[in-house]
Structure 1
């Protein structure tokens, strides 16, 4: 049962860098994960820790109200703030922002969020979401160091592309696409953990945002070079991370030797990038475009990638003629 992996490769972990000014902030009310009560909100009995990420900790819990009414599956996942992150003044606002963003999404391949609540006695805020069973993609990749056959790769790529295309269409950026944030649940793939996400510029105004001048957050090997240089989150940064993930699925290895995009750009790793053996040649130009270090050359979105990855050779030729005719 795995909603968030308890272990992971160091380069796959989300990194938080706090600007010097942030050190001057004193926590409003420190909240330690070890102080978490046995029952949150008088309703959710915590059973065990499922995993810890850069910002949050996720627990398996039993919904006592659903259980009281005879629900045979009263289990949910609860996401709370991690010990370190909970000490910052706007941390709970950011947790709510994650809920506000992801709760606007209703798609079979995006994790379902049920509610945002605060346990008043302990002052712990938490998100209630569906409990997912199955391996995450990083676990699957560990089992396939040579990459997945095309049929298997495609069966994962298509629902993932659908999820991201839908999110972007709703004005929501994920912000931390990586194998550990994709789970192969019993009833299908889910993209989860929008904790570093935000709305597309001009969409969903008023929601709290991660202040990247004070807190820079990323997973190094999936972060686009411009994001590491201080540029804002964008559709293009999500596309770069997604392209790295898709390449890894088909090749079994990261396209840029597990280094971050800025390092890869500085040493020119894009010049020696080769099409993965399992990836059809018809898909390579689109994936190669999505992997461009320069965001101005990353002229492709999730909808276009979905069309390429789902098309047969003959359908792709027709699509290219129509879109470029």
Structure 2
């Protein structure tokens, strides 16, 4: 803290300024006092940014997101005026020294203190990410070591990932010694980028130095991109945890919940796969970013080209001009990527329209005693959500109020759910033993109880007239909805089935085949007659097992998802894939069309639900906030509410989003 300078403002909005707290790339931070006498931190945006209308719009969006950031380990945003001249942001003032000051004065923290710091900062980042923000500048100077625990401060360059890059194409803002590789390469970082920065901060706290320290910024950049971190003398669990955070591939970094609740379970990272792990920004596909909103799409042919795209060699030019070495390793600056011959690349083509970006949950549904939910369904009127899992119960909620309507017990392990078109019946599958069960949705009374075979059904769907239920696993089968009597079956040679769906007119049943042990007709979508299950065709192109199938509302297209990390859109008249949408490193667990057919949604293993424009393949939104991989999704008939469930450990929550 230092006195105000002669040219500093004495008042911003209703806040009297008393001293300087620090400065960053976006602005100056002052100690202020609210009209009620409370201490606050006031960040005033620099003039060069305030004059940029694009920056102001982005800053306004981030302020709105930052206002929602909760959690004990962040400094709360209490006020802001993005329209002021200059714009400003106010957070609660947290008394205490920064982590950088503490380590500089007293030396590295002891291992127990580092473990506590890791849990606290991970909790703070989780709160930030849940609101659709990525901090982008986590470093020792932005961590306040308060008496009651650490606080993450300075949302000055936090990025809502639907925003444009701050200045121009391939420009990075941040602090090199704590940047993730993807951020160094000029990409828009997602939450895994903050995990990498967290690893750097913890290494600094534990050792007194950064894991990629060097004598110049180019040397730091080289080490971040290509070398292993320095983690000398750390206990095994700390070394494993920090090294895992510092993996070059964002998709291999640990999730924040593991850092909070089970850091001792994090294993040392395995050696990275051979070949370039950080592709050039022109390479096909995306990195494994939980919130990366630049997923590329590829038109037909149905099968994507094999092998990685070539990585062009690039040189690095640091700073504005010809600065090539800077002694102060933690100085924020801009990093420009240039051509291999040292000349700056030509201006990139005009970018495509930006996607909507991250959408945080609008609510959640829980019930006492419910610990696991892996299946979800919504009635055709959009009023009722049902979900079930390993707890041998099905819970029904009122969508509007979140109130539990009823709990159906003794259901066995629920492996599939489907409401009848009129919403009066709810079909479920029990996996132990294999049963098809049909319940009265209003009372919970069991109406049908029949053996479905050796295995439980992995997927269920009612015919449009409600008279027939299609079920899958290990073969495709049709059941009379009123009695459970078997009507037809199609032999899939025990290759396994994960998904089944009726077409809107009831004429077709689509079956997504697992391809278990490469048994034929694996890794295909089988198109069967809606009444007899006689084969009408097949769709070929996925390179791994199918996880979801869905017809468009007009019945002319079909979406299929797979463990090959793609969603494929098929024209049913020609039986050809018209679009292959890549989901980066995320496995797609389920897929749905929006009720108007304009969008296709995918439940992803990176805890997101992604929404693409069905006509163009452009990503339009990424739904975030579910605590574990999303396995199943359902939509209300107006398409405005999305429900998601899933996870590999106890979490009995249905997460809801408004879109």
**So what's the TM-score if we normalise by structure 1?**
0.70
Match of 1:210 among 143, 148, 166: 166
Q: Is the 8 A contact 1:36 1:124 kept in 2?
A: no
Matched, 1:81 2:36: no
Question: Counterparts of 1:265 and 1:78 in 2: how far apart (Å)?
Answer: 33
SS of residue matched to 2:40: strand
Q: Is the 8 A contact 2:50 2:86 kept in 1?
A: no
Matches within 5 A, 1:59-208: 59-64=30-35, 66=36, 73-117=37-81, 123-145=85-107, 147-200=108-161
Question: Counterparts of 1:287 and 1:199 in 2: how far apart (Å)?
Answer: 26
Matched, 1:253 2:212: no
Match of 2:11 among 36, 39, 49: 39
Matched, 1:264 2:223: yes
CA drift of 1:134 comes to: 0.8
SS of residue matched to 1:76: strand
Report the counterpart of residue 286 of structure 1 in structure 2: 241
Q: Is the 8 A contact 2:246 2:253 kept in 1?
A: no
CA drift of 1:186 comes to: 3.9
Query: Which one scores higher on RCO, CA 8 angstroms, separation ≥ 6?
Result: 1
- Relative to 1, partners in 2 of residues 1:57 and 1:286: Cα closer, same or farther, differing over 3 Å? same
Spell out, residue by residue over 1:255-306, the C-alpha distance to the aligned partner (whole angstroms, 9 max, x if none).
122466641156x531xx56442x431343332122112334x331222222
Report the counterpart of residue 263 of structure 2 in structure 1: 309
Q: Is the 8 A contact 1:93 1:208 kept in 2?
A: no
CA drift of 1:208 comes to: 6.9
Report the counterpart of residue 11 of structure 1 in structure 2: none
SS of residue matched to 1:193: coil
Q: Is the 8 A contact 1:182 1:191 kept in 2?
A: yes
- Relative to 1, partners in 2 of residues 1:157 and 1:299: Cα closer, same or farther, differing over 3 Å? closer
Count of aligned pairs: 264
Report the counterpart of residue 12 of structure 1 in structure 2: none
SS of residue matched to 2:183: helix
Q: Structure 1: which 5+ runs fail to align?
A: 7-32, 67-72, 313-321
Instruction: Report the RMSD for the aligned CA atoms in angstroms.
Output: 3.1
SS of residue matched to 1:194: coil
Q: Is the 8 A contact 2:50 2:87 kept in 1?
A: no
SS of residue matched to 2:96: coil
Report the counterpart of residue 332 of structure 2 in structure 1: none
SS of residue matched to 1:304: helix
Q: Is the 8 A contact 1:250 1:276 kept in 2?
A: no
Question: Counterparts of 2:189 and 2:74 in 1: how far apart (Å)?
Answer: 20
Q: Is the 8 A contact 1:52 1:82 kept in 2?
A: no
SS of residue matched to 2:87: strand
Q: Is the 8 A contact 2:61 2:160 kept in 1?
A: no
More strand by share: 2
SS of residue matched to 2:73: coil
Q: Is the 8 A contact 1:133 1:185 kept in 2?
A: yes
Question: Counterparts of 1:118 and 1:262 in 2: how far apart (Å)?
Answer: 33
CA drift of 1:241 comes to: 0.9
251-260 or 185-194: bigger deviation: 251-260
Question: Counterparts of 1:93 and 1:308 in 2: how far apart (Å)?
Answer: 39
CA drift of 1:81 comes to: 0.9
Q: Is the 8 A contact 1:62 1:76 kept in 2?
A: yes
Q: Structure 2: which 5+ runs fail to align?
A: 267-647, 650-659
Q: Is the 8 A contact 1:176 1:196 kept in 2?
A: yes
CA drift of 1:34 comes to: 6.9
Larger Rg: 2
